[in-house]
Amino acid sequence: MPSAFSIPYFLPPESLPAPLPSTEEIEAQEDLSPKYTPGQHVVRVGKHFVVKHGWLVRPSEGQNMLYVREKTSVPVPRVYAIYQQEDAKGRNCTYIVMEYVDGRALNECWGTLGVDAKDAIAFQLRGYFDQLRGLPSPDARFGSLENGPLRDGLFLTEEEQPAINGPFDRETEIAKALVLKLEQEGDDFKAERAAFYRRVLPRVLQGDGKPRFTHGDLQTKNLLLRPDGTVVVLDWQTAGWYPRYWEYAIATFGCGWWVDDFHAWIPKFLDEYPNEYLWLATIRTFLWY
């Protein structure tokens, strides 16, 4: 079982670069997060802190960062505090206070880098993801820390539904969960299409039956290039144990509008699963685009 990081979590004052900001200070800062993520806010407070907060932010995101930092050498921002507080509307809001890391997001600078620099980044990422793949799943299940549900949006529902959310004992249950999700939330998802998916998805979404620890949202916007060339991995909210093809499929889908050649470097740090990518991309596009 992974290490438990209970909430609230606070580093001792002597381990902090400065006193923690108050909730009032945090709420007063400019929101740096995209406008399409209501309920999730990212702010910078002073020289030392970045805070992710909101009623849609989960403590598990901070716990994932603590877990990865404890178990691997993958560079992630240091987490100083995780706590929850009720807002004016009675919603339980999570606050994750972490270190500010100086650097440029790869989506802002990838096009300016030469081949050697891109190769150096891919070499680092290969080492990172090899480490992540070696983190054992509790009870060999597909799920999140502390045997929780999978956090990718494909498994989210308004009300708890373990048949869709997980955790799952077998990889074939993931294919069944995706069909249930499509039936519930996909507009005009016809019964015969559901029957087809139910028959073929267990055959085409097929790894080796073993869960692999996965970042789950590997996009250039979540990779920060420090001035010394170190790549820091951000945004761990969907991390957990998924099939072996999941990271590649999500990373390739994250290439979005194909505006650069990042996709050509993905196979240098992740094993390729193009068929699984195409099927998951079809499902995501049907649900959300």
Give the tens place of pLDDT for each residue, 114-127. 999 999 999 999 99
Q: What is the pLDDT of residue 1?
A: 37
Contacts (Cβ under 8 Å, ≥6 apart) of 84: 7, 8, 59, 92, 93, 94, 95
Every domain of the chain with CATH number 3.30.200 lies at: 9-99
Superfamily of domain 101-289: Aminoglycoside phosphotransferase (APH), C-terminal lobe (3.90.1200.10)
Q: Do residues 224 and 260 touch, judged by C-beta distance below 8 A?
A: no
Q: Do residues 233 and 75 touch, judged by C-beta distance below 8 A?
A: yes
Residues 138-170, buried b or exposed e (16+ Cβ, 10 A)? beebbbbbeebbbbbebbebeeebeebbbbbee
Give the tens place of pLDDT for each residue, 184-207. 998 889 999 999 999 999 999 989
Model pTM?
Answer: 0.95
* Residue 59 C-alpha from the chain's centroid: 13
* Assigned CATH topology for domain 9-99: Phosphorylase Kinase; domain 1 (3.30.200)
Whole-angstrom distance, CA of residue 237 vs CA of residue 105: 18
Q: Give me 31's structure tokens.
A: 């929101």
Q: Across the strands, what pairs with 7?
A: none
Whole-angstrom distance, CA of residue 157 vs CA of residue 146: 19
Strand locations in the chain (E): 9-10, 41-45, 49-54, 79-86, 92-99, 104-105, 212-214, 223-225, 231-233, 240-242
Q: Do residues 235 and 254 touch, judged by C-beta distance below 8 A?
A: no
What does each of the 289 residues of the chain score in pLDDT, given as a tens digit? Answer: 345 578 999 999 999 999 999 999 999 999 988 766 789 999 999 999 999 999 999 999 999 999 999 999 999 999 999 999 998 899 999 999 999 999 999 999 999 999 999 999 999 999 999 999 999 998 899 999 989 999 999 999 999 999 999 999 999 999 999 999 999 998 889 999 999 999 999 999 989 999 999 999 999 999 999 999 999 999 999 999 999 999 999 999 999 889 999 999 999 999 999 999 999 999 999 999 8
Every domain of the chain with CATH number 3.90.1200.10 lies at: 101-289
Q: Give me 138's structure tokens.
A: 């509790």
Q: Give me 169's structure tokens.
A: 């004992």
